[in-house]
Amino acid sequence: MARPVILSVDDDPQVLSAIDRDLSRHYKHEYRIVKAGSPREAIDVARQLKQRGNAIALFLVDQRMPEMTGMKLLAEVRELHPEARKVLLTAYADTGVAIEGINDIGLDHYLMKPWDPPDQKLYPVLDDLLNEWKSHAHIPYDGIRIAGARFSPQSYAVREFLSRNQVPYQWIDIDEDSSMRGLIAEFPGGLDRLPVVFFPDGSFLSAPSNLKLAEKIGLQTEAQRPFYDVAVIGAGPAGLANALYAASEGMKVILIEQSGPGGQAGSSSRIENYLGFPSGITGSDLAQRASAQARRFGAEMLAAQEVIGIRREDPYRIVHLADGKEISAYAVILTTGMSVRMLDVPGIEKLHGLGVYYGVALSEAAAYRGCDVCIVGGANSAGQAALFFSRYARHVTILIHAPELSPRMSHYLVQRIVVTENITVIPNVEVSGVKGEDHLKQVVVRDVNTAGERTIDASAMFICIGTAPHSEMVAGLVERDEKGFILTGPDIPRVNGKPKGWTLERDPLLFETNIPGIFAAGDVRAGANRRVAAAVGEGSAAIYSIHRYLNTV
Ligand SMILES: Cc1cc2nc3c(=O)[nH]c(=O)nc-3n(C[C@H](O)[C@H](O)[C@H](O)COP(=O)(O)OP(=O)(O)OC[C@H]3O[C@@H](n4cnc5c(N)ncnc54)[C@H](O)[C@@H]3O)c2cc1C
């Protein structure tokens, strides 16, 4: 952790180096001794330290400086480092000003110049002040810090991306930290370019894209080879399993993910039905273990790269990325899963991220501590979300279309919901509206039998109402069902006894689409059993088919 700073300020170079010498002699092992030759320089240093998350423990500032008095300077930097102790260096004639400073700006002490001998006149005073500071100071965080508005979709997206990639960060809500708000207001683009992500090296990015963030934090975003045996698209359970097995069998494999590893499973607070974990495992833990395992076998993994298309140039399959780059492989497997369906009610779009969330935004739980929240949907993901949020929220209301939770929700979840005091289930309803200007305030629900409406107070609504497959990148290339799920193997419809669009003598292999060498596994595949274990199973089993295909090219 970075050492806290003692900042001394004097425009007289001789006095400044004398202070610096005496401070270094006594404090340099525990504190970083920094000097500034003018008030302007001191303000810049104080701002930079605030930006980096470094704490100033003590200011030692000369009163008589032509550019700005020491008192004025201390008043200016007080907001940036409110916990720092403030000491003024004065001549005898300034003692009246210093005494006023005790009331006006919370001056902690004034020291007469000269302070010789420091063992008697300087160190005892500063020791006391620094000990006092230590007992009150918050330990500074020297990792990545995100400063943004709590209810902004962009701030949410950046937090979600870092969580997905297991990158720890500290969140700073600028509505609660006025000095950080002031600091950001002066950046290029100011408060219109939130969030601002501060890095430990002192740099920052305003409103960064996933790709920019990934590059900055050192995630791999570019392929290292010109060519691969297999390109796996999507790092959910199916893609991770596929990449792991491919790499372990010696194939050159690249796994391309638009966000971070884990997929839908990554947002699960506890997966309780996955083999080998009797007390359950969080989705992010499972994803982290699987990524480490796949990397250990030599799988390359790209983060923050969205695949927008696939081209066939026999015998190659070319993958197009959103940033314009291309990746070539003999075989491609789509393990792109699916995401939640959108709710179509008036006014909902503008509240997206401002209290309205699709899926289970676990990272938002702390933001809604003590609030009322609604969960829309009756499947297992909704049940898990309700139980998770019940630990933070004052009350959780589950809104379902059906008359009761069973049988769509697993029995073990229903049993737990029934005994959780701060969860209520409202059956036979659908969401018909939302209310709130800059943040969700109320949810309007309509009774599906009587059409009568009622409003429910809620600061957040998490929508888990079904899903849509991520298969747009192969629209027009591979056969899909009417909902967009990808058809594979025996599920591909036949025309004149042959699979539709199929050109080879042999039939498509298991998990192979109607385009030879393009495979699909997991939730994106039509007919998949939408569970973590099933996705892992399909991703692993598809390697057998890919192997057979590679033997033919
Ligand atoms: C909240 C929640 C809780 C759940 N709990 C359980 C549970 O307890 N037990 C259970 O068995 N199942 C559970 N499930 C279901 C389970 O998570 C899924 O069945 C499983 O994750 C499917 O895995 P997948 O790899 O096929 O797809 P996904 O998990 O959906 O992963 C697909 C990945 O592909 C990426 N991707 C998509 N499009 C692109 C693109 N164009 N370019 C690059 N990358 C792309 C996505 O970002 C994503 O990471 C839960 C699901 C949810 C949402």
Indicate the SS3 state at residue 216.
Answer: helix
β-partners of residue 64 are: none
Query: Quick check: CB of 492 below 6 Å from ligand 1?
Result: no
The verdict on the CB of residue 263 being under 6 Å from ligand 1 is: yes
- With vertex at residue 31, the alpha carbon angle to CA 29 and CA 32, rounded to the nearest 5 degrees, is 105
Element (H, E) at 32: strand 32-36
Residue 358 alpha carbon to ligand 1 centre in Å: 14
Determine whether the shortest distance from the Cβ of 207 to ligand 1 is under 6 A: no
Longest dimension (CA), the chain: 104
Is 294 within 8 Å of 282 (Cβ atoms)?
no
Report the pLDDT value the prediction gives residue 531, as an integer from 0 to 100. 87
Q: Is 234 in the pocket of ligand 1 (CB under 6 A)?
A: yes
pLDDT values of the chain reduced to their tens digit, one per residue, 553 residues: 679 999 999 999 999 999 999 999 999 999 999 999 999 999 999 999 988 888 999 999 999 999 999 999 999 999 899 999 999 998 877 778 878 878 788 899 988 888 989 999 899 999 999 999 988 877 767 789 999 987 777 888 899 899 889 898 999 999 888 889 999 998 888 899 999 999 988 899 999 999 999 999 999 999 999 999 999 999 999 999 999 999 999 999 999 999 999 998 887 778 888 999 888 898 889 999 999 999 999 999 999 999 999 999 999 999 999 999 999 999 999 999 998 788 989 989 888 878 998 877 777 788 899 999 999 999 888 999 999 999 999 999 999 999 999 888 999 999 999 999 999 999 999 999 999 998 999 999 999 999 999 999 999 999 988 788 999 999 999 999 998 999 999 999 999 989 998 989 999 999 999 999 999 999 999 999 888 999 999 999 999 999 999 999 9
Helix (H, G, I), strand (E, B) or coil at 50: helix
Q: Tell me: the pLDDT tens digits for 476-514?
A: 999 999 989 999 999 999 999 899 989 899 999 999 999
Backbone angles phi, psi at 306, to 5 degrees: -90, 135
Rounded alpha-carbon distances, angstroms, from residue 413 to 45, 74, 169, 484? 54, 57, 32, 30
> Which single residue is written with the structure tokens 């920052």?
204
| R_g (Cα) of the chain, nearest Å | 30
Which residues share a beta bridge with 525? 486
Pocket test for ligand 1, best of 264, 306, 335, 412 (most atoms within 8 A of CB): 264
What was the pLDDT predicted at 94?
Answer: 76
Q: Whose CA is nearest to atom 27 of ligand 1?
A: 337
Alpha carbon distance 131, 231 (integer Å): 58
The pLDDT, as a whole number, for residue 207 is: 95
Euclidean distance between CA atoms 492 and 379, whole angstroms:
29
Atom of ligand 1 nearest to the CA of 473: 41
Cα dist from 392 to 230, 348, 357, whole Å: 43, 24, 16
Q: How far is the CA of 359 from the centre of ligand 1 (A)?
A: 11
Cα 343–chain centre separation: 23
Query: Residue type for 251, please?
Result: M
| 284 ligand 1 Cβ < 6 A | no
Determine the Cα–Cα distance for residues 12 and 25; give it in Å rounded to an integer.
20
For residues 236 and 97, what is the distance between their CA atoms, to the nearest angstrom? 65
The CB of 268 under 6 Å from ligand 1? The reply is yes
Ligand 1 site, residue 90, Cβ cutoff 6 A? no
Give the dihedral sign, CA 408/533/339/522. negative
Task: Report the residue count for the chain.
Answer: 553
CA 237 – ligand 1 centroid, Å: 7
* SS3 (DSSP) at 53: coil
pLDDT value at position 1?
A: 63
CB 332 within 8 A of CB 230: yes
235 lines ligand 1 (CB under 6 A): yes
Contact 57, 130 (CB under 8 A): yes
Number of H helices, E strands in the chain: 14, 28
DSSP code per residue over 332-393: EEE---EEEPPP--TT-GGGBTTTEEES--GGGGGGGTTSEEEEE--SHHHHHHHHHHTTTS
Residue 117 preceded by cis peptide, ω within 30: yes
Count the helix, strand and coil residues of the chain and give each as a percent rounded to the nearest 5: 35, 25, 40
